Copies of this chain bind each other. A is one copy, B any other.
Amino acid sequence: MNKLYGIKALAFDAYGTVFDVHSVVALANKMYPGKGEELSRLWRSKQMEYMFLRTVMGRYIPHGENNEAALIYAMKFLKLNGGIKERALLINAYETLELFDDAKRTIPMLSNFKKSILSVGTPALIRRLVENAGIESNFEELLSVDEVKVYKPHPRTYQLIIDKLQLLRQEVGFVTSNYYDVIGAKAFGFQAIWINRNNVIPDELGLCPNIELKSMDLMPNIFG
């Protein structure tokens, strides 16, 4: 296996990397039998599309609002009945997502590194996620793109890590399952660690991760 050298800090993406965005499927299936998975997938993909579009247009809104807009679209598209009350239930589940098992096992083991989270969530959303999962003591910084009012993969978001930690870009290992975030982090100059749990194929965006892992369980062995 490849080894990564010179890393002093690890920054983690939250949604989809540390937290399983599809842990809302169970609730969604209770509310809309047989439709939970489709709703979760469309909700997530619209969230991301809206983040990219709003960043391109210079019309940032906080992730909570963007998330609700994506949910409204997904419910309309799938012709699911529901209003404020149903959305509130689903959004509450989204704000208390479950940890991936490998993240739960691995993050506390990576004690040689300063650890932080850089998320598209607002500070309040990130704090709620992390505290609900009981992992807050692992992180020195919880960083939110809300501070710069653009979404990832805009370079200004990754700069937040450098500004807080005062490290060189190549001293940061950026851990993410989202390929657009892999590319954004790599383009910025971080060492990109792609957690590819579902064995998806990479996008053709002209850059690659420094290392690809099927699980975070492999992380303790990658540092040279």
Residues of chain A having any CB pair with chain B under 8 Å: 46, 49-50, 52-59, 61, 69-70, 72-73, 76-77, 150-155, 180, 183-184, 187, 201, 203-206
Contact = CB atoms under 8 A, between A and B. Distances in A.
Nearest to A69: B204
Given A53-B180, A55-B56, A56-B56, A205 B153 contact: no
Given A57-B154, A57-B184, A204 B52 contact: no
Contacts of A204: 46, 50, 69-70, 72-73
Nearest 8 pairs of A and B residues by beta carbon? A69-B204, A52-B52, A73-B204, A55-B56, A72-B204, A56-B154, A57-B153, A76-B201
Contacts of A56: 52, 55-56, 150-154, 184
- Copies of this chain, complex-wide, total 2
A205 B52 contact: no
A14 to B, nearest CB: 18
A111 B1 CA distance: 66
Contacts of A55: 56
A61 B70 CA distance: 29
Contacts of A58: 155
A41 to B, nearest CB: 14
Contacts of A69: 204-206
